[in-house]
Structure 1
Amino acid sequence: MQVQELLLETLESLRKEDFKTLQWYLSMEVLAGCKPIPECRLEDASRTVTVRQMIESYREESAVKVTVEILKKMKNNDAAEKLQNKYAGRQTAATSASSSAVAPAAPATLLAQQGSVIIAPQFTSSSAGTLNITMNNK
């Protein structure tokens, strides 16, 4: 599930007054480094527009962190924990999917001028396969 969907699901679970309170908090600095969203951008904004504003203002990871923090301030710890767990689960699933499905690497060419040094990649995996290295001295 994408971050936008997680945030939307969270906002849709809020009652109307709680949603307005969340928007009010978004217009303040909730986390250091996350600038407030101007009230005019949130005024009469739907839940989907609010999510879009959050993603544009904070990017995905920070939008989740800000939302969790606001939910905690609102004493809605259940929703905060649910969002945090779903986001963490999403990251874990993405990491394990990307590490388990390793595609063969495309051939790479590294060039250096005379006297330069090329630092080759380190291989830490124990997977079997063929590795061809060709060095030309021109």
Structure 2
Amino acid sequence: RELFVRFHEYNILDLFFEMVNQEQSLMKWKIVIHEIFFYIFHGLEPEDIIYDRKVESNNIAKKLLAKEDDKKRDRRLADQRSQLKTWTEIEACDGIKKAVSIHEAVIGNSSKEETVKIDTTCEMPTPK
């Protein structure tokens, strides 16, 4: 709006409209300029009048992709938190106690130092 006021103070708009009136091929631009100023005075920004639908759809697509990336990152962080090791102590048949990662033992990725192979031939103690 300040730009319009400055143009009006220096009679730039009057000069422009006078030039347009002289040339018939520029008459369509006079209408466009009038509409832009009409919408400016009604509280709309000039960008809202003329916008590119491709740019708008690209902006929407970028926002959706950003949301999807955030969801993926949150899922990845949740998976990492769920893989925290829980340790328990196991006593083998020969009486040796060893700390074992439950998660690693269940999925079968535990190293030889972390797990104890339990001899399945020894008898389990009976409850009293």
TM-score by length of 1: 0.25
* Bigger RCO of structures 1 and 2 (CA < 8 A, at least 6 apart): 1
In our comparison, the structure showing a higher alpha carbon Rg is 2
* Greater fraction of residues in strand: 2
* Greater fraction of residues in helix: 2
TM-score by length of 2: 0.26
